[in-house]
Amino acid sequence: FMKGSPAQPLCGFSNAVVQILRLHGVEDYRAHDVLQDPDLRQGIKNYSNWPTIPQVYLNGEFVGGCDILLQMHQNGDLVEELKKLGIRSALLDAEKDQDKK
């Protein structure tokens, strides 16, 4: 759940989430623009008990917002969570390529 779309995020935090996912090679995901539906915007905040947008869900489970996803990216947890979903992070391949040099 974000402001805007992956092709055109409408806030810096939504853009950061999109960029983090792109770094990991995650392209196939659903995004919902909460600016198009005020009820959805408030409803998702109530559902997750999280006050801000964007909100990231992996396999239907709430993970957090931009700050949490950034922290997971920085400490390597996101690679592990993606692996659980059967997604190999593109960063692993980039590291492998660096090691060959």
Please state the residue numbers annotated as binding site for [2Fe-2S] cluster. 11
CA separation for the pair 85, 63 (Å, rounded): 14
State how far the alpha carbon of 86 is from the alpha carbons of 10, 13, 42, 58, 66, in Å.
Answer: 29, 26, 31, 12, 22
Binding residues: 11
Specify the 3-state DSSP secondary structure of 31. Answer: coil
Separation of alpha carbons 94 and 24, rounded Å:
10
Question: CA angle, 86 as apex, 19 and 80 as ends, to 5°?
Answer: 65
